[in-house]
Amino acid sequence: MVAQPSVMSARVYALALRAYPRAVRDRFGAGMRDAFAQDLDQARRRGSLRLASFVAVSLGQAIWFGALERLGLTVRPYQNDRFGGRSRSGSWTDVRDAYRSLRSAPLVAAVAIGSLALGIGANTALFSILNSLVFKPLPVHEPDRLALLDPGSFSNPVWEEIRDRHASVGTAGAFAWSVERFNLADAGEMTFVDGIYASGSFFEVLGVGASIGRTFDAHDDAPGGGPAGRVAVISHGLWQRRYGGALDAIGRAVTISRQPFTIIGVMPASFFGPDVGRAADIILPIGAAVGTRQAQLRTAATWMNIMVRLKPGQTVDHAAEYFRAVQPQIRVATQPDDRRPDQHLADDFTLASAANGRSTLRQRYETPLTIILIVVGIVLLSACANLANLFLARATARQPEFSLRLALGASRWRVARQLIVESVLLAIAGSALGLIVAQWGSALLVRQLATTAVPVVLNLTIDWRVLGFSAAAALVTSILLGLAPAASLSRLVEGDVLKAQGRGVMADGRSFTRSALLISQVALSLVLVVAAALFLRSFVMLTSVPLGFDPERLIVVAVDSQRAGSPSTPGPELAERLRTAVASVPGVASATVSYTTPFATRGWNGFIRIPNRAALPERESLSWVNLVFPGFFSTYGMRLIQGRDISLQDVHGRDRVTVVNEAFIRRFFPGENVIGLRFSGGTATDDTHTIVGVVSDAVYRSQRLGVPPTMYAPWAQQEPFTTFSITAQSATSAAPPRQAIAVALMREEPAVAYTFRGFGDQYHASVVQERLVTLLSVFFGVLALLLAALGLYGVTSYLVGRRRAELGVRLALGASGRDIRRLVLRRVVWLVGAGIAAGTALSLWAVGFIQAQLFELQPRDPVTLAVAAAVLFAIGVIAGWLPARRAARIDPAIVLREG
Amino acid sequence: MDISNMATSAALKPVAFHILASLADKEKHGYAMMQAVRELSGGQIPLQTGSFYRHLGQLIAAGLIVESSGRPADDDPRRGAYYRLTPRGRETLASEAQRLSNLLSAIGPLRPSRKGSH
């Protein structure tokens, strides 16, 4: 046992020696390893603490000295000659001097490193999310040969046509998949897992294999399952979570969405499927689809995405040409009876490179994250401006020293170099710490992106892109930090400061640089404050969109009544039985059944056609659909404006009736009395509906989408769905009792699976993106404001300090405290005013980029701009007021004596 | 004492001096040299492998030390190369010793109890 760590240490040390150039290793390597081994023995005898520190120091030395050797930085055997030019010229000396100079001002160094670490860390955190979302290629074989077939999604018949006739001709292969949530519970409360249905070619085309067991192929992707029955491949993560990594998980039976499956393989840990940001924990063959998807295998419902692998050397455009050429064939072969030919596959096929996978998360967050990245970039700039001012002040304070060195014959570059090295050192330390901040911050952010219904899984490991980004950030910051102080040296005349050091009213040669820095800082802060205010207002407007129903006392129970292992669908009376069971729970005032509920991810829409009228453009002729029980509207608190509610008599065999909302009338029958009017489509193309009632508007999916035209058809007049939602309304102001409802459901029908959805969660999920952007922009906007205030305060204090003598003389000559305050504040007001003017111009230009992110708000909103400017002005003046007050209290007697 | 001489002969760093001194009696392999330095300096120079070889490399480059061609018959093959002083190295060591001793005698009457500086 004792030998093992030393063998390992020796190996690690040998590895660390690789830092040295080869020539040095060849020459000294054996001796170094020997010495290390001997000293290691010594150190071990002196305790584990000694041992640990010895190993750490040795490794550090090996890497550090190795790097120095590579850079050609060697030691000299002779002592430094402090006064000669020769020995003071090494870069290494600069680094050491810079280190000493920073250590002598630990507070300045700590503030600088801390703010840089936060700034660079925040930037790196956002970048690493963007990186994994947008830039990282999929961890599959030759990802740059993958392309996604557009537009949108396709039906299974279309996929089968492509699979059977075209994939092997036009490309090197293709696969289809659809994003699903699977329920792993046998019965009772559902346990959801993210997964996908994938075609048999999925693994082969991606070029990934199972780490244990096997993947499935075309033979397994047969209707109802292949020779091995219904098979499932699971992810490494699920294997660990659910089976504890047991090898005998292969071959086990598992119930997935109420159907029996057999696990045949486990994917490698790095594999997460074709969707970035989402873990494909369960992968099922399309042929084994269950529930609604099983029913959709033969219909024109579009629910699949298709990815192709290009032939070697084939371009995306070339492959797309092929698909466009065969599109008419595919269209004819898959023409559904119930759609007009010009509506089916109407848009031309295109292909988009998919080297880094597909991601709905990317579509949603790419722009918001980029905006926030720019925002934190500005905050970093602002922090840099503060630090540059701080260093400028320090450089001014050190002018006597620099001046002396210049007088003794040092070159300007020689002196400037030290300042630059100092800032580089700070930036390196800041970005090293920033990487740690970033790791923590990005994980925190990703948790914010996730909702109860949509978990987010992103690979956030630091790769060369992230490292490159933070190195670039460090480079930029060090240039920004070092440049101003170094440039200030150029105006320094040898010995000048030595003369001036006594006292006097000194012209402040650096005031221009400092003012410019401050003005730009104020301007940038204003942009951020304006952006934050816009996002905040937009968020408030979004969340105050009337829902059209009262969510307070409601709870939704989503029910899956498909029996495990039974292909037969339960009868239509089941929904009514379960509804009655829920409604009879004490504390529940009423309960209703519907196909979907507001804010649910499930939705249904269809094209509306009105007899004897010109059809609207395709996009505008869509109406959203919900199937409801009688009493749905009263449970949701929606008002019946005209006509009647759906009744118990609206069943199969009777005239198809429907209740539509006001938005439906505005779209399809503006200004008409619609009761009794008929239209077709919506639920299915050949269905004809008679409007019997009009109900008040309510949100269908989210507030951002607003209130779309919606038709409510009787549940009893459609084929029953095995999955539906029961909404219970509480009899009191408290939320309905979940526990009692669960018990009632289980007692009524033990085989059903169910899950509760509170409107709170769904509501939160529907605005998670807006909430995140608002939170971050407000946070960083306030941070920028504070930084600007700090900068103003610091610079004003500094200037007051510099002008103490002058102000003292003024006071002695009879100036009042007010005069002095006014004198100091005038400068602050001028700076802030100029900053605000510049910032306003900048904002007017910059906000154009966030227009798309705002909800019903003009980005060039004058009120927002005015408020932001006023806030910034007030804070700026307060920041300047404090030093001004101090200046007014200078005791002239003391100042004059000091001279 | 003629101090004009001191200004022209550059002072060796203590580490370099001790490394040269470690080879004064006979040729040694690297680790033996390190141990000798640690002993000679009474622990004042806590030499680590990395910095030792850094200095050794420079002393070789300066022509003060060379790698020995032969090795003792009873040698452990894991030891690295053996080193010895060149004539120039021996000269430098002697003149540095002389310089230090001159320095010591010059400050003899003022010799502080601790803490000397170069």
B111 at interface of A, judged by CB pairs closer than 8 A: no
CA dist list (Å): A727 to A397, A601, A741: 72, 16, 11
Interface contact flag, B30 A35, Cβ < 8 Å:
yes
For residue A63, the chain B residue with the least C-alpha distance is: B50
Can you give the pLDDT at residue A84?
Answer: 39
For residue A32, the chain B residue with the least C-alpha distance is: B49
> Contact, A351 vs A148, CB < 8 A?
yes
Cα torsion through A871, A872, A876, A878, rounded to 10: 10
Give tens-digit pLDDT for A81-104: 444 344 445 667 778 878 887 777
A756/A725 Cα distance (integer angstroms): 9
pLDDT of A671 strictly over 70: yes
Q: Is the ipTM of this structure higher than 0.85? A: no
pTM: 0.65
Can you give the pLDDT at residue A340?
Answer: 66
Q: Going by DSSP bridges, is the β-strand pair A302-309/A174-183 parallel, antiparallel, or unpaired?
A: antiparallel
- Amino acid at position A428, single letter: I
| Residue B116 burial class via C-beta count within 10 angstroms: exposed 0-12, middle 13-18, buried 19 and up | exposed
Q: Going by DSSP bridges, is the β-strand pair A302-309/A154-155 parallel, antiparallel, or unpaired?
A: antiparallel
Give tens-digit pLDDT for A539-596: 998 888 888 888 888 889 888 876 644 545 566 688 888 999 999 998 899 999 999 8
DSSP A825-869: HHHHHHHHHHHHHHHHHHHHHHGGGGGGGSSS--TT-HHHHHHHH
Mean pLDDT of A625-642: 90
Interface contact flag, B58 A76, Cβ < 8 Å:
yes
**How is residue A603 annotated by DSSP?**
-
Can you give the pLDDT at residue A846?
Answer: 85
Contacts of residue A243, defined as CB under 8 A and 6 or more positions apart, other chains included, come to: A249, A252
CA-based nearest distance A38→chain B, Å: 8
Can you give the pLDDT at residue A453?
Answer: 67
Can you give the pLDDT at residue B73?
Answer: 67
Token reading at A180:
């699903």
Query: Angle at the Cα of A27 (from A22 to A31), degrees rounded to 5?
Result: 120
Who among B58, B62, B80 is closest to A31 (CB)? B80
**How is residue A366 annotated by DSSP?**
H
Confidence of residue A490 (pLDDT cuts 50, 70, 90): low
Chain A residues within 8 Å of chain B (Cβ atoms): 24, 27-39, 57-58, 61-62, 64-65, 68-69, 74-79, 81
Select from A79, A81, A86 the residue whose CB has the most chain B CBs within 10 Å, as the one to mutate to test that interface.
A79
Cα torsion through A783, A784, A785, A787, rounded to 10: 90
Interface contact flag, B48 A57, Cβ < 8 Å:
yes
- Amino acid at position A413, single letter: W
Q: How many CB pairs under 8 A join A and B?
A: 91
CA-based nearest distance A27→chain B, Å: 8
CA dist list (Å): B11 to A76, A77, A653, B3: 11, 9, 111, 13
For residue B17, the chain A residue with the least C-alpha distance is: A77
A302/A158 Cα distance (integer angstroms): 9
Token reading at A670:
């503006």
Mean pLDDT of A447-471: 77
> Contact, A523 vs A720, CB < 8 A?
no
DSSP H or E run through A194 = strand A192-198
Interface contact flag, A79 B10, Cβ < 8 Å:
yes
Token reading at A226:
């292949």
* Residue in A209, A205, A181, A185 with CA at minimum distance from that of residue A193: A181
Which residues in chain A touch residue B34, judged by CB atoms under 8 angstroms apart? 35
The SS3 assignment for B117 reads coil
For residue A42, the chain B residue with the least C-alpha distance is: B35
CA dist list (Å): A281 to A144, A194, A567, A654, A849: 24, 6, 24, 45, 37
Contact residues, B window 37-66, toward A, CB-based 8 Å cutoff: 48-59, 61-62, 64
pLDDT of A609 strictly over 60: yes
**What is the largest distance, in Å, between two alpha-carbon atoms of chain A?**
107
Interface contact flag, A31 B58, Cβ < 8 Å:
no
Select from B29, B49, B58 the residue whose CB has the most chain A CBs within 10 Å, as the one to mutate to test that interface.
B49
> Contact, A788 vs A876, CB < 8 A?
yes
In three state form, how does the secondary structure of A278-332 look?
CCCCEEEEHHHCCHHHHHHCCCCCEEEEEEEECCCCCCHHHHHHHHHHHHHHHHH
Bond before A227 cis per omega within 30 degrees: no
Give tens-digit pLDDT for A391-435: 777 777 777 777 777 777 777 777 777 788 888 888 888 888 888
Q: What residues are paired with A226 via a beta bridge? A: A229
Give tens-digit pLDDT for B78-111: 777 889 899 998 998 998 888 888 888 877 666 6
Which residues in chain B touch residue A78, judged by CB atoms under 8 angstroms apart? 10-13, 16
Highest mean pLDDT among A453-462, A761-770, A804-813: A804-813
Interface contact flag, B52 A35, Cβ < 8 Å:
yes
For residue A78, the chain B residue with the least C-alpha distance is: B12
